[in-house]
């Protein structure tokens, strides 16, 4: 698939996906969703020696200022439900991706943009980042998981406040609440996201993928303990487990191969 909105750059094993609709503050239109679906459902799985993915927005002003408001005027209830389900399914592809996905956030992450960031495994915010779920201003609820993931990340009290008032919060507040993993000086977002992915890339790849699965199982299935038992057993069968344990005993750095 030829991408029209996303640009994909692979830099030392890290895929950098940039949403390029700067004039519309990178608002998520249908085409952007289709391209994200293609990358996280297909193309991203075929990249050799992939360490992880960074999602960012073009320009300094916005990560993503929401779903594209011009596209959802006049939707029927049935069409609205279908669009919501499709968006949720695509964000699940990101959340379930086998390699770490990090959002590098400059500027606005609103509505669907905040939801996209929350579907990533980790979030790095520049000091000028702003977060919010302003859907009630438009007569809508969030449609791409915002009412669920925001509660998971920051708790019901603050999540309800943000969802009901449509207030925006800055990067420091987002960090204090647990919505983002780190706040960095403007311009440092990509470097910090890269540093995190490089750190994870030095760990055993199979175990990393299984951790993502186990954590997701709690939220998706309500109980991930059984999944953890399976994952632990599966890791015991890997070469990397033998290597990790041997490296510890021999007081050396482990050399994981992903087998
Ligand atoms: N969609 C489309 N265009 C957008 C946009 C958006 N979400 N946000 C900004 N733009 C466009 C503006 O229209 C403007 O275009 P031109 O007028 O230049 O052609 C350009 O980006 C620059 O924006 P501003 O001129 O407004 O820039 P300011 O610095 O003055 O303000 C702002 C920045 C971020 C505060 C402001 O642009 C703003 O309030 N934007 C909208 C934020 C927002 O409400 N986002 C939507 C959140 S709700 C659904 C599922 C999910 C959703 C909806 C439906 N279904 C399943 C049906 C999700 C909804 C949302 O994401």
| pLDDT tens-digit map of 244-258 | 999 999 999 999 999
Contacts of 64 (CB under 8 A, 6+ apart): 19, 25, 26, 27, 28, 57, 108, 109, 110, 112, 113, 116, 117
Report CA dihedral (160, 164, 167, 170) to the nearest 10 degrees.
20
SS3 101: strand
Task: Report yes or no: 117 and 103 within 8 Å, Cβ to Cβ.
Answer: yes
R_g of the chain computed on alpha carbons:
19
Report how far residue 215's alpha carbon sits from residue 121's, in angstroms, rounded to the nearest whole number: 10
To test the pocket of ligand 1, the residue of 24, 25, 117, 137 to mutate (highest count of ligand atoms within 8 Å of its CB) is 25
CB atoms within 10 A of CB 259: 11
CA-wise closest residue to 33 among 93, 75, 78: 93
**19: Cα within 13 Å, side-chain hemisphere:** 36
Q: pTM to 2 decimals?
A: 0.97
Is 135 an annotated catalytic residue?
Answer: yes
Contacts of 235 (CB under 8 A, 6+ apart): 204, 206, 207, 210, 241
Is 189 an annotated catalytic residue?
Answer: no
Q: What is the pLDDT of residue 220?
A: 87
| pLDDT tens-digit map of 75-111 | 999 999 999 999 999 999 999 999 999 999 999 999 9
| pLDDT tens-digit map of 155-189 | 999 999 999 999 999 999 999 999 999 999 999 99
* Domains parsed from the chain with CATH numbers: 6-201 (3.90.226.10), 205-249 (no CATH)
Q: What is the pLDDT of residue 221?
A: 84
| pLDDT tens-digit map of 209-223 | 999 999 999 998 888
Q: What is the pLDDT of residue 229?
A: 97
Report how far residue 67's alpha carbon sits from residue 36's, in angstroms, rounded to the nearest whole number: 14
Task: Ligand 1: list residues with CB < 6 Å.
Answer: 24-25, 27, 65-70, 72, 75, 80, 83-84, 87, 108, 110-112, 134-135, 137-138, 140, 143-144
């Amino acid at each position: 698939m030829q991408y029209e909105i996303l640009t994909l750059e692979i830099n030392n094993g890290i895929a950098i996906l940039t949403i390029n609709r700067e004039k519309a503050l990178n608002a998520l239109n249908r085409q952007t969703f289709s391209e994200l679906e293609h990358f996280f459902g297909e193309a991203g799985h075929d990249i050799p020696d992939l360490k992880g993915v960074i999602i960012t927005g073009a320009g300094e002003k916005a990560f993503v200022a929401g779903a594209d408001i011009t596209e959802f005027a006049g939707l029927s209830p049935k069409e609205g439900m279908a669009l919501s389900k499709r968006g949720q399914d695509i964000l699940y592809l990101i959340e379930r991706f086998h390699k770490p996905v990090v959002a590098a956030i400059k500027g606005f992450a609103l509505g669907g943009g905040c939801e996209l960031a929350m579907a990533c495994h980790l979030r790095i915010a520049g000091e000028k980042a702003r977060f919010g779920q302003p859907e009630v201003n438009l007569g809508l609820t969030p449609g791409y998981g915002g009412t669920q993931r925001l509660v998971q990340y920051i708790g019901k009290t603050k999540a309800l406040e943000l969802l009901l008032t449509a207030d925006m919060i800055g990067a420091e507040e987002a960090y204090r609440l647990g919505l983002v993993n780190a706040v960095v000086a403007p311009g440092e977002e990509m470097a910090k996201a890269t540093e995190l992915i490089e750190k994870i890339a030095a760990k055993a790849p199979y175990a990393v993928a299984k951790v993502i699965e186990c954590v997701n199982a709690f939220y998706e299935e309500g109980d991930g303990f059984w999944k953890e038992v399976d994952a632990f057993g599966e890791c015991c069968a890997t070469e990397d487990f033998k290597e990790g344990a041997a490296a510890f005993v021999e007081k050396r750095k482990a050399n994981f191969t992903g087998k």
